Amino acid sequence: MNENKTRSIGKSISWRILASCDTMLISYVITRSFKIAAAISSIEVLTKMVLYYFHERAWNKFAFGRN
């Protein structure tokens, strides 16, 4: 089952928004500070995008699960 690139980009963006909201909510519950929660969430967006890029590049080196 192949997806076109536009669908994949849309899914990536919607997931990133949902995941960042989750991080902000958890951070707020722990710190009780919206300012700190927003800072944590902002940093998380950047670090997870960079980590995901390298994660994807590493997976490209393996044939596991490919036909």
Identify whether 12 is part of a domain.
yes
CA dihedral 30, 40, 37, 20 (to 10 degrees): -100
Identify whether 65 is part of a domain.
no
Identify whether 66 is part of a domain.
no
7-46: burial string, b at 16+ Cβ within 10 Å, e else: eeeeeeeeeeeeebeebbeebbeeeeeeeebeebbeebee
What does the pLDDT look like over 4-62, one tens digit per residue?
A: 888 888 888 899 999 999 999 999 999 999 999 999 999 999 899 899 889 989 988 88
Total tally of structural domains belonging to the chain: 1
pTM of the predicted protein model: 0.73
